[in-house]
DNA sequence: CCTAGATAGTGTCTCAGTGACACTTATGCA
DNA sequence: TGCATAAGTGTCACTGAGACACTATCTAGG
């Protein structure tokens, strides 16, 4: 129990009362694509769970922070690095990895469809977007992680500006509402949705319109620099 | 980078692409005692930060879950094991421990003043309750952990039954309100507080009264078995 | 035993935010 | 030019929250 590890490469020369544990990060990368909430899964090449789908993840390097590790995984899987990333929860059940004890810190990322020009085939061969309502069997406890991520996103969408992360520079209010509906998995009332946007003073018209087929063209909007104190009075916050 | 660790005691024989990291848990143990929100800190005997105050914590054993480890620390520090415990956040900055890389999973616990008969001196010599508004210098990033815990508790107190955890079997509404006020660090309106309790149907009178000095004696209450669906309709939840 | 002091307990009004709901406006295309 | 399509807009009713003051019941001391 109290042995030391003379060949241990970097970590904690003094913190040797107990064996160190492998630490990984796994990242739940979400986007709205083709009208659906989708998550990136990669096909595992190695045992355990070889051939099964898993969240992109990997070991934490000795010199990088947990968030850096998650961001590295994010970039490796999607090419996009400058996106919203938040720590979710840490999974450490002793039997969660059949190889032995592995502790995994789960993160979730929201990438805007237009900042992430990758469609499934642009990811490395074994990575794909999956609709969260139609998932393959997933390795480890990764389904739990996804579940936690979905709950977190849905909750924070309601009282933070988290939804901004998924929109392009300019957008129509209809598109914004659609994005919210897709994530929350329920329909919203157009007028109530807009009333709230106005109350919170979140968006401003850019002064241009976009015509998309027949029908009245839609005003284009962008997000305003938010007034944090005004938002807080209304029970609304920034995502972090 | 790809070396293996033949003498590694238990964890992950296959997960050896990167060196394992020491993993600890640190537990923010909160209670309301003597009219103040208090936290347990222990005096460190070893370097680094020897002589400074820190949250109770320690290394995760290879065979126990993270929560078990946190609960073990909790019992060691206070003697009470059957209390509310929730994972907070994981701290993994590469330089957070001067000895080297250590990843720490922070938990917070709420112990009822009556379930934890320990006053400062009943804890082991180097452990004390501290008022959260009058703290000593704390080791590592433990002040950050405490901050996160306080924010979490205050938020969840408002929309969950978390506050139950801190009350004895029976209590007066005044005591309950006082507990809320101490945690939230602001005064509440007596009538509005009681209106909300009634609306949510959270408590019931036990039919006894308690006289405490002069003044009209107070009704004693206990928490009801909550109707989860009724609560959810009112935007109220269980703590987990 | 009566009174003063102390604490418990209770109801109303106003305001803000939310959900439900239907018609008018502006465009494209046949 | 008119028809199909999508964008945009206002009201009413309800609920929950904050602000606010008096009555009821007990203890203790004269």
Closest C-alpha to A182, from A137, A148, A133, A218: A133
Q: What is the pLDDT of residues A51-79, one digit of tens each?
A: 999 999 999 999 999 999 999 999 888 87
**Which nucleotide, over all strands, has the C1' atom closest to the CA of A193?**
C18
Residues 6+ apart with CB under 8 A from A5: A16, A19, A20, B5, B7, B8
Structure tokens, A15: 């913190």
- A178 CA to C4 C1' in angstroms comes to 67
**Which residues, listed in sequence order, are joined to residue B25 by a DSSP beta bridge?**
B58, B105
DSSP state of A107: E
**Exactly one of A124, A158, A169, A204 is catalytic; which is it?**
A124
**Residue-level pLDDT at A12:** 41
pLDDT-derived band at B56, boundaries 50, 70, 90: very high
End-to-end alpha carbon distance in chain B: 39
Full set of structural domains in chain B with CATH: 23-157 (3.90.79.10), 168-233 (1.10.10.10)
Strands B84-91 and B203-210: unpaired
pLDDT at B17 over 90: no
Q: What is the pLDDT of residues A1-59, one digit of tens each?
A: 333 333 333 444 444 456 687 899 999 999 999 999 999 999 888 888 999 999 999 99
Closest C-alpha to B62, from A1, A141, A105: A1
Assess contact for A27 and A86: CB atoms under 8 A.
Answer: no
Assess contact for B77 and B132: CB atoms under 8 A.
Answer: no
Query: Taking CB atoms and an 8 Å limit, are A19 and B23 in contact across chains?
Result: no
Which strand C nucleotides have any atom less than 7 A from protein CB atoms?
A: 4-12, 17-22, 25-29
CA B105 to chain centroid, in Å, comes to 13
Tell which phi-psi region holds residue B60, choosing left (phi > 0), alpha (psi between -120 and 50) or beta: beta
Cβ burial of A153 (10 Å; 0-12, 13-18, 19+) is buried
Report how far residue A194's alpha carbon sits from residue A175's, in angstroms, rounded to the nearest whole number.
Answer: 12
- Supply the residues of B annotated as catalytic: 124
CA-based nearest distance B1→chain A, Å: 8
Angle at the Cα of B94 from the Cα atoms of B92 and B99, rounded to 5 degrees:
105
Report how far residue A141's alpha carbon sits from residue B66's, in angstroms, rounded to the nearest whole number.
Answer: 15
Assess whether B238 (CB) lies less than 7 A from strand D: no
How large is the C-alpha radius of gyration of chain A? Answer: 21
Structure tokens, B197: 């309790």
Query: Taking CB atoms and an 8 Å limit, are B66 and A90 in contact across chains?
Result: yes
Whose structure tokens read 């976009």? A210
Assess whether A230 (CB) lies less than 7 A from strand C: no
């Amino acid at each position: 129990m109290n042995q030391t590890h003379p060949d241990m490469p970097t970590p904690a020369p003094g913190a040797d009362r107990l064996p160190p544990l492998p630490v990984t990060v796994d990242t739940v990368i979400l986007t709205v694509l083709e009208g659906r909430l989708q998550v990136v899964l990669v096909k595992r090449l190695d045992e355990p769970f070889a051939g099964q789908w898993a969240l992109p993840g990997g070991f934490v390097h000795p010199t990088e922070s947990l968030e850096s590790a998650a961001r590295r995984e994010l970039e490796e899987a999607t090419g996009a690095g400058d996106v919203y990333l938040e720590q979710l929860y840490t999974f450490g059940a002793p039997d969660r990895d059949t190889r032995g004890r592995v502790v995994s810190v789960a993160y979730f990322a929201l990438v805007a469809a237009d900042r992430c020009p990758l469609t499934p085939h642009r990811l490395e061969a074994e990575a794909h977007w999956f609709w969260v309502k139609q998932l393959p069997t997933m390795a480890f406890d990764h389904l739990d992680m996804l579940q936690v991520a979905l709950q977190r996103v849905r909750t924070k969408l309601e009282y933070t500006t988290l939804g901004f992360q998924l929109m392009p520079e300019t957008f129509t209010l209809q598109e914004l509402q659609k994005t919210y509906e897709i994530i929350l998995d329920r329909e919203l009332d157009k007028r109530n949705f807009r009333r709230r946007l106005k109350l919170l003073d979140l968006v401003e018209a850019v002064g241009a319109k976009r015509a998309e087929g027949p029908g009245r063209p839609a005003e284009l909007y962008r997000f305003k620099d938010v007034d944090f104190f005004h938002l807080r009075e209304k029970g609304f916050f920034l995502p972090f």
